[in-house]
Amino acid sequence: MHVLVLGGTTEARTLAGLLHSRGERVTSSLAGRVASPRLPAGEVRIGGFGGPAGLARWLREHQVDALIDATHPFADTISSNAARAAATAHVPLLALRRPGWVAEPGDHWHPVGSLEEAAAVLPDLGERIFLTSGRMGLAAFAGPELATSWFLLRCVDPPEPPLPARLRVLLDRGPFTLDGERELLAAHRVEVLVTKDSGGAATAPKLQAAREAGVPVVLVRRPPAPPGLPQVATAQEAAVWVAAQSSG
Ligand code: NAP
C-alpha cells in the first residue's frame, strides 16, 4: 500500500506515525505555508500539486492506493481538489476531520460565517481583541471601522500586510495550556476572542479561559466539507480504514 496523507494538522502527523510504524508506505503532503513545519514520520513532499488535475497525476505517477484528506477543516480548496482528483484517478478517499467545538454553559459565542463577518461584530463586543484565526485574511480587520481597536495576534509565522493599525504579534504554536491562556487574557486585558472553529484539544484551552473570564468569543464557522465522502474523526479510525483498503 502507498498512502498519501494530505496534512498540515496534528491528526495527519499522528496518522502518518501510525501507518509508518506498522510498515505501510506513507507520504505526507504539506502545502509549504509554515517556515519550519513539524515533520511527520515517513516520506514528506512539500508544495501544491497544481490543482485537481495535478493531484490526480501525482496519485497515478506515484501509484497511490489510498488518499486521506487530513487537512485543516478550513482548508477547503485542497479538500475539494482531493475529492475531484480521487474520482479522476480512481483512488479511494477518506476525510479525517476533527469535530468542531461545542459551546458549554457560561460561553458567550457569536458564530459568524467569515473573517469579514467577525470584523463587523467586533465594535459591539470590545476594543481589546485576541485574534487566533491565523495569519491569513487579516485584511478583514485592517479597515477604518476598527482603527481604534487594539489587536493581539497569535500565529506561527509573521503576518503580512494589510494588518490592523494597532497590532501586537505573538509568534507561538500550540498546544497551549489553560494556565498560559488565563495569564495571556489577563495580562493583555482581552475583551474579545476571535477564533475559527478548528476543533481539537491543542488550542481549546483558550475557550475555557474565555469562559472563566466572561470574554465573548467570535467563532468563525467551518466551510462545508465536500459531500458524500466517508469521514472519520481520529487518526486511529483512519488507520483502521487504511487496513480495510489493503485487505479489500
Ligand atoms: P487551501 O486554501 O485549501 O489550499 C490552497 C492550495 O494550497 C491548494 O489548492 C493546494 O495547491 C495547496 N495545498 C493546500 N494544502 C496542501 C497540502 N496539504 N499539500 C499540498 N498542497 C496543499 O489551504 P490553506 O487553507 O491555505 O491551508 C494550507 C495548509 O495549511 C493545509 O495543508 C492545511 O492543513 C494547513 N492548515 C490550514 C489552516 C487554515 O486555517 N486554513 C490551519 C492550520 C493548518 P495546489 O492547487 O497547487 O495543489
Q: How far is the CA of 87 from the centre of ligand 1 (A)?
A: 19
Pocket of ligand 1 (CB under 6 A): 6-9, 29-31, 33, 48-51, 54-55, 71-72, 74-78, 81, 134, 196
Q: How far is the CA of 138 from the centre of ligand 1 (A)?
A: 17
What does the pLDDT look like over 16-49, one tens digit per residue? 999 999 999 999 999 999 999 999 999 999 999 9
Protein residue with its CA nearest to atom 13 in ligand 1: 31
Q: How far is the CA of 179 from the centre of ligand 1 (A)?
A: 31
Among residues 50, 25, 46, the alpha carbon closest in space to that of 37 is found at 46
Please tell me the class of the 2-99+223-247 domain.
alpha beta
Q: Is the pLDDT of residue 58 over 80?
A: yes
Choosing from 39, 72, 79, 154 the residue with most ligand 1 atoms within 8 A of its CB, the one to mutate for a pocket test is: 72
Residues 6+ apart with CB under 8 A from 146: 119, 122, 123, 164, 165
Atom of ligand 1 nearest to the CA of 80: 3
Atom of ligand 1 nearest to the CA of 55: 48
Query: d(Cα 15, Cα 28) in Å, to the nearest integer?
Result: 10
Q: How far is the CA of 10 from the centre of ligand 1 (A)?
A: 14
Backbone angles phi, psi at 44, to 5 degrees: -135, 135
Average pLDDT in the 177-193 region?
Answer: 98
**Whether pTM exceeds 0.75:** yes
pLDDT band at 235, cuts 50/70/90?
Answer: very high
CB 241 within 8 A of CB 229: no
Please tell me whether the peptide bond between 162 and the residue prior to it is cis, using omega within 30 degrees of 0.
Answer: yes
Q: How far is the CA of 27 from the centre of ligand 1 (A)?
A: 16
CB 5 within 8 A of CB 16: yes
pLDDT value of residue 221:
98
For residue 169, what are the β-bridge partners?
Answer: 153
Among residues 244, 132, 248, the alpha carbon closest in space to that of 185 is found at 132
Indicate if 109-220 has the same CATH topology as 2-99+223-247: yes
- DSSP assigned state of 138: G
pLDDT value of residue 1:
93
Q: Is the pLDDT of residue 247 over 90?
A: no
pLDDT value of residue 246:
85
Q: How far is the CA of 49 from the centre of ligand 1 (A)?
A: 11
The 10 Å Cβ neighbour count of residue 240 is 12
Q: How far is the CA of 81 from the centre of ligand 1 (A)?
A: 10
- For the chain, the structural domain boundaries read 2-99+223-247, 109-220
Side chain identity at 40, as an amino acid letter? Answer: P
Residues 6+ apart with CB under 8 A from 193: 129, 130, 132, 185, 206, 207, 210, 215, 216, 217, 218
11, with CB counted inside 10 A (0-12, 13-18, 19+), is buried
CATH of domain 109-220: 3.40.50
Query: d(Cα 141, Cα 149) in Å, to the nearest integer?
Result: 9
Atom of ligand 1 nearest to the CA of 133: 40
- DSSP assigned state of 93: E
Q: Is the pLDDT of residue 135 over 80?
A: yes
